[in-house]
Amino acid sequence: MQIHIQQIGPGMVQQIQTVCIECKGQGERINPKDRCESCSGAKVIREKKIIEVHVEKGMKDGQKILFHGEGDQEPELEPGDVIIVLDQKDHSVFQRRGHDLIMKMKIQLSEALCGFKKMIKTLDDRVLIITSKPGEVVKHGDLKCVRNEGMPIYKAPLEKGALIIQFLVIFPEKHWLSQDNLLQLEALLPPRQKVRITDDMDQVELKEFNPNEQNWRQHREAYEEDDDGPRAGVQCQTA
């Protein structure tokens, strides 16, 4: 440290303590003629170094890769480590869940009823052909899987999880078929349930419903507030 004494008035002095400019608080000073030309006596230099990171098959989001002793270095101190944390990007088709891959596939109603063949391009640029045989009805939301086509397992790259496929059945638009053809189609499908209507029953009309409509939201909020909201009580009085 350096101590500076400065007179600020008659009979009054001020003492100021500061870090030594020569040693920068280290307690030692290197003779200018003996100083390193690269660091000018600072004992460390700044340099850039390229580290090659190998991401192995099956590594997960948030997994860490450690490079021991590659951090900042200081005299008389052990250098630190460089830690790489993996941040897995989202994929437009596949969603990872552990060792499994999940995807959604849209199919037409005719394919759901009569069978289909579909192509799937994998993450390693292979093409898989999946087949649904005629008579194997695929329902909307059904889940099926292909074994050993998921993510490779870390430290066991020859083993893989499953590829899970959720099927979304696309139904035709309104009035897509004529009345005559509808009758022919109905004859091929399983019979619909018959309902016996009596005079004491009320027949109503089905309408399109949109849960995002403002009127519906207001009714729902009022209903929830009425059921769950606080209700005022009656205060009892004592004489």
Q: How far apart are CA 110 and CA 137, in angstroms?
A: 10
The domains of the chain, with CATH numbers, are: 94-170 (2.60.260.20)
Q: Where are the beta strands (DSSP E) in the chain?
A: 2-9, 12-18, 64-67, 82-85, 95-97, 100-108, 116-121, 127-132, 143-146, 152-153, 156-160, 163-170
* pLDDT of 87: 96
pLDDT at 140: 95
Angle made by CA atoms 230, 231, 236, in degrees to the nearest 5: 130
Closest CA to 105 of 173, 172, 169: 169
Distance CA 46, CA 37 (A): 13
Cα–Cα distance, 29 to 146 (Å, whole number) = 71
What local confidence, expressed as pLDDT, does residue 237 receive?
A: 47
Q: Which residue has the tokens 């994998």?
A: 122
pLDDT, one tens digit for every residue, the chain (239 residues): 888 888 887 878 888 888 887 777 777 777 777 777 777 767 777 888 899 999 999 999 999 999 998 888 777 778 889 999 999 999 999 999 999 999 999 999 999 999 999 999 999 999 999 999 888 899 999 999 999 999 999 999 789 999 999 999 999 988 888 888 888 888 888 888 888 889 899 989 988 888 777 666 666 666 666 555 555 444 444 44
- Which tokens sit at 223? 């209903």
